[in-house]
Amino acid sequence: MSPSRCSPAVEEPAAARRSSSPPKADYEAISKYYDEVRPGRPETLAPWVEALAAILGGQKGGTLLDVGAGTGRFVRPMEARCGASVIGLDASPGMLHRAISKDPLGLWVLGDAQALPIRPSAVDGAFMVMVLQHLADGPAAIRELYRVVRPDGRAVAITSSWARLAETPVGLFPGVRRLDRARFPSIPSVCRWFREAGFDPVGVRYLRIEVRGARVEEVVERVRRRYISTFALMDDEELARGLPVFERRLRERYGPQFDYVNTFAVVWGGRPKAVLT
């Protein structure tokens, strides 16, 4: 993972803006198939866990909060990697139901990232993975991370960068780039939200996931199964209309089998130490 300072230069033009009210994905419906289309295989999760642990590690015996934990893909892997207890919080009863049925002894909380039902300074660190695009009030969620993390603790948000949205093969599906640019905040905005919440220092790193030997039929099938929430925002007709166009574009651009890189932004902030007066 390449470290870098929180610099707008690596991101989209300043004039571009995310919509103030991103379209809302229905996670009650998505919860019924999420684990099938996004299986949390250890080898798939490992680079994400390492990216989180690089910032949140060193919490042995402490408590971490996974905000927007979904079906809990990162909860136990982060516990194992960091030696901490991890609380999984999500706003969707359906997603949490899945998490609880897989792991009844886990620490699960139903709650909103923008108004966390957690006491101030209660956790040693917090993280959210691919959640910001769902929130109407991203800055409020980052302020909440600041509030619940103890002084000298850290918080991390992993999200798609707009650079990735421009590069990913999935962007060849008609309408995807428009939809996702309306949902995902820009990385400079997320860094600003961290700074405005009070985090200092604030940084961003880029997590590069290399995908080798992707076959066009497999990629099309994953999209048909709505493996990311962008496709859950499309109705059946829009999806059916787009699939043949997508497949043709993929073959024209890449041929039947191809390698590509998905780049995610890992924005983090440290809550300053308490100052005794």
SS3 173: coil
Using CB under 6 A as the binding rule, whether residue 167 contacts ligand SAM is answered as no
Among candidates 225, 270, 218, 194, which has minimal Cα distance to 37? 225
Of 216 and 266, CB closest to ligand SAM: 266
Q: Which of 56, 78, 123, 135 binds ligand SAM (CB under 6 A)?
A: 135
Contacts 24+ apart (CB under 8 A), 72-76: 72/98, 72/99, 72/102, 72/103, 72/106, 72/108, 73/38, 73/40, 73/45, 74/40, 74/45, 74/48, 74/49, 74/127, 74/129, 75/99, 75/103, 75/106, 76/103, 76/106
Contacts (CB under 6 A) with ligand SAM, residues 7-46 = 27
* Single residue of 90, 124, 144, 180 touching ligand SAM by CB under 6 A: 90
Residue 131 engages ligand SAM in binding (rule: CB under 6 A): yes
Say which residue the tokens 């910001």 belong to. 132
Residue 70 CB, nearest distance to ligand SAM (Å)? 3
Least distance from C-beta 82 to ligand SAM, angstroms? 16
Q: Are 131 and 238 in contact (CB under 8 A)?
A: no
Cα(251)–Cα(217) distance, rounded to whole angstroms?
10
Residue 92 sits in the site that holds ligand SAM (CB under 6 A): yes
Q: Shortest Cβ distance from residue 191 to ligand SAM (Å)?
A: 20
Among 6, 113, 216, 234, binds ligand SAM (CB under 6 A): 113
Piece of the chain touching ligand SAM by CB under 6 A; list 50-58, 64-72, 230-238, 253-261: 64-72
Backbone angles phi, psi at 157, to 5 degrees: -125, 120
Q: Which position's Cβ is nearest ligand SAM? A: 70
The CB-of-132 to ligand SAM minimum distance in angstroms stands at 9
CB 175 within 8 A of CB 242: yes
Q: Does 144 contact ligand SAM by CB under 6 A?
A: no
Instruction: Note the residues at the interface with ligand SAM (CB under 6 A).
Output: 27, 68-70, 73, 90-92, 95, 112-114, 129-131, 134-135, 229
